[in-house]
Chains A and B, each alone.
Chain A
Amino acid sequence: MALGWYLAVSVLIFCIGAGGVLVRRNPLVVLLCLELMLNAGNLALVTFARMHGSEAGQIFALIVMVVAACEVTVGLGLIVAISRRNLPVDVDELHELNG
């Protein structure tokens, strides 16, 4: 397969994720859509690594996975803290910081 096809899949997944972040209101699902976007970036990085025949892109993809894992841990911690306080788990309702 030509490598352009992989990039096309990556573009589609990224856009689906971006649309999901904007549309969904449950913070859990927003985090899942962020995962989609990060994974699309990973796919593009690995494709470029294949294109150039060097492993730097794969290293980058692994670091992106580390960052995604950190983001998930902190995000899920926030969601657990929100539900502990019996606040609504909904990004539209949580607008205390919105002036």
Chain B
Amino acid sequence: MSAVLFFIAAICAIIGAIGVVTLRNPLYAVLALVCHLISLAALFLLLRAEFVAAAQVVVYAGAVMVLYVFVVAYVGGGDEVAAGSSLRILGPMFAVALAIELFIAMLGTGLSGIKGHGAAYKLGFGDPEHIGKLFLTDYLFAFEVASLLLLVAAIGAIVLARRRRGLEEEGRDLTELLATPRPSYTGTIAEGAGVRRVREQLEQVHGGATELLTPEEKA
């Protein structure tokens, strides 16, 4: 029985993972990830990690995925154009190589428990009572650091995504932003990286009319 459940959950998890990587529309990718997370929660239950499974469904498949769906709806998840970069071929090759390496490491390991069915089951293993007790005794420091990290992340997200004044005039795209005349040598990253590239882009937009002027030349 547990073997049947394991294979159903594992196959669903892997199909969900493949769906996340291959589906073109980000919204469908998010839905595939929800399927993946719920099957993973079933695997956690099979491993007798009840509290982790519950947290997985409530926190991950519930809260975090809703956040994703909101952002996909806000950004407007259009289909992405097929990339022409070399990573298109190198990425899957790297993944396959990593899989082969990890399987070799797993098969060649000296861990005796890998063929067994785990340690003897104790009553209450992995239930909220035990986890909570451990969090407030042995792992108190990790618990406190985690809460601090959540606070920092919440403040960081607010600071990053807040609405700033004067930065969002209607309908300016990247080329217009690049072409907007600005005082030369004001220390932008693009200038630091290569003034020439900026100049070329400006000339493309303005048909060669724009020149980067130093303040002396302007005067």
Contacts and interface: CB of A to CB of B under 8 A. Distances in A.
Q: A and B from one assembly?
A: yes
A83 B139 contact: no
Interface string A73-99: 110111111011111111011001111
Contact of A58 (B131, B158, B167, B189): B131
A23 B17 contact: no
Contacts of A3: 113-118
A65 B118 CA distance: 23
Given A46-B52, A51-B119, A70-B153, A29 B114 contact: no
Nearest to A71: B153
A62 B55 contact: yes
Contacts of A36: 17, 20-21, 33, 36
A52 B83 contact: no
- Classify chain A: how many residues form its interface, as a range: 35 or more
B209 interface: no
Interface of B, helix, strand, loop or mixed by DSSP: helix
A1 B55 contact: no
Interface in B70-117: 71-72, 74-77, 80, 83, 85, 87-88, 90-92, 94-96, 98-99, 102-103, 106, 111, 113-117
Contact of B17 (A16, A42, A53, A79): A16
A92 B98 contact: no
Contacts, number: 263
A87 to B, nearest CB: 6
Interface of B: 2-3, 6, 10, 13-14, 17-18, 20-21, 26, 29-30, 33, 36-37, 40, 43-44, 46-49, 51-52, 55-56, 59-60, 63-64, 67-68, 71-72, 74-77, 80, 83, 85, 87-88, 90-92, 94-96, 98-99, 102-103, 106, 111, 113-122, 125-126, 130-131, 134-135, 139, 142, 146, 149-150, 152-154, 156-161, 163, 167-168, 171-174, 177, 189-190, 193-194
16 contacts: A9-B10, A13-B36, A16-B17, A22-B87, A28-B29, A28-B68, A28-B77, A39-B36, A43-B44, A46-B49, A50-B118, A59-B139, A62-B55, A66-B150, A71-B153, A76-B67
